[in-house]
Amino acid sequence: MRLLPFVLRLAVCCAGIAVALPARAMEPHAQVTVTPELVVAGSPELIRVTAPDATSIEGEWLTRRIAFFRHGSEWIALAGVDVEAPLGPSVLHITAQVSGAPVDLTQSIAIHAAHYRTGTITVAPKFVEPPPEALKQIEEESKLKAAVFAASAPEPLWQSSFHAPVAAQATDSFGTRRMFNGKLASIHKGADFRAAMGTPVHAGNSGTVALARPLYYEGNCVIIDHGMGLFTLSMHFSRIDVKEGQHVKAGDVLGLSGATGRVTGPHLHWAVRWQGAYLDPIKLLKLNLNLNGAAKTSHRASPHAKPHRAHP
């Protein structure tokens, strides 16, 4: 008869273990990957969060909000580091909502130098010191571009990897510190393609034409909204063949290259802008954005993250 109390106590302990196991099994499992792993100033980055039980993901990096969209069991964001971003350690804040509780996946990412060149260019004097009558035009165009960049689609419009806008070689001009006529210093925030006058210019990916008109510095310019704060800008067209509001697919002809605006000769200036940051277009072309097969080697957060108070 003395065996019965022992058996009962053992049964109660075993029952407690059986109840505890499902609770541990439901702990959130999340992993963050950032590709490319080596992050440099001007680098576009594909951020993937594996968190199948998450109901939402929020992010912030270098004061810029990161918007994620769901793709199967993952959450995806196409972000980047501005060409003028400070070098050294940075903090990538990511918070997942799982079962009503925040899961903090914050991690530190080092930003390295990209070693951009310095160059000197001679252009028409009006593009270094605009005449009084051009200043009002420049101010109005600045407001117009700000409105365009503030109205990006809330969902991704791009599909798979980006493609070069012209069948021509690109120079290593992105990030170059330039002196215009020996007076005005600036950073070149796009890639220049050697495109002869009249070369067809194609959309690098799908999206909506947000702007298609002549501008003072850019010349005939086409801006495509690829969604979630990502834009590509094509400048110096001799002819524009698309209209604002038009949806385009990768490879669609936007117009013909030329030499309008602040140029030294015919070429295509192609820029990539995300949330106000200018990214290296050549690096974007090399980034595998096939979401079903893109590489996942990168910085990793703990695969067993614990729910706790998120960063403010």
User: Which residues does 147 contact at the CB level (< 8 Å), separation at least 6?
Assistant: none
pTM: 0.80
The amino acid at residue 182 is G
Range of the domain at 63: 31-114+292-300
Residues 170, 214 within the same domain: yes
Instruction: Supply the pLDDT for residue 173.
Output: 75
Distance, in Å, from the CA atom of 269 to the CA atom of 216, rounded to the nearest integer, reads 14
Q: Are residues 50 and 178 in the same domain?
A: no
Q: Residues 268, 177: one domain?
A: yes
- pLDDT on residue 190: 87
Q: Which of 73, 22, 23, 80 lies closest to 52 in space, CA to CA?
A: 73
pLDDT beneath 50: ranges in the chain? 1-28, 184, 295-312
- CB count within 10 Å of CB 150 equals 9
pLDDT of residue 246: 98
Residue 132 has what pLDDT? Answer: 80
| Separation of CA 57 from chain center | 17
d(CA 300, CA 80): 17
Domains of the chain: total:
2
